[in-house]
Amino acid sequence: MTPDFATRTSLKPPNGRKEAYAFAEFNPVQHIGRDGRMIPAWEMANVSRIPSPQPLPYLDGAYVTRVAVHRKAAVTLIAALSAIHDSGLWDFLAPYGGGFQFRRIGGSPLLSMHSLALALDFDPANNARDLPADQSRFGASAGGREVVRLFGLYGWAWGGDFQKRPDAMHFQFATGV
């Protein structure tokens, strides 16, 4: 069952990179080791693996039954995924493209929101980066637009709306980054 309106709106996503780092309790000086990798203690303390309402095919053909997300955003993702599932739109999320992964934004020194467990990718082949939103599966169909709307109800921004470089596969619990 999908949580009520109060649950949808009780947690607001951080706005801007500084707020996202604060929300995630992430400090690059403290949480990135000399080798350039994230210190495992941060992941252990902050990343939750939530159950998926239904198994979701992964890019490699395996199935995902749990999704890694920052513990503070977990309730919002559970609610969004439940709403999408309950609306009969689950197939729009397949295949799952990935979520929590410590990495930089392509072509940038900045950390991706994936590094903070605040971003997920879905159906990369049909929602490619740099593809105009209205040509992506999420933007070009009524069902896809409803998935975007449902994620948005729970604070998850769609990458297809990014002004500088659209990323239609991408949803993140952060704005202005």
pTM of the model: 0.92
Cα 120 to Cα 15, 33, 171: the distances in Å are 17, 24, 5
CATH number assigned to the domain covering 5-172:
3.30.1380
pLDDT band of residue 108 (cuts 50, 70, 90) is confident
Query: How many whole angstroms from its chain centre is CA 88?
Result: 20
In this predicted model, what pLDDT tens digit does every residue of 45-64 receive, in sequence order? 999 999 999 999 998 889 99
Domain residue spans in the chain? 5-172
Q: How far is 12 from 101, CA to CA, in rounded Å?
A: 23
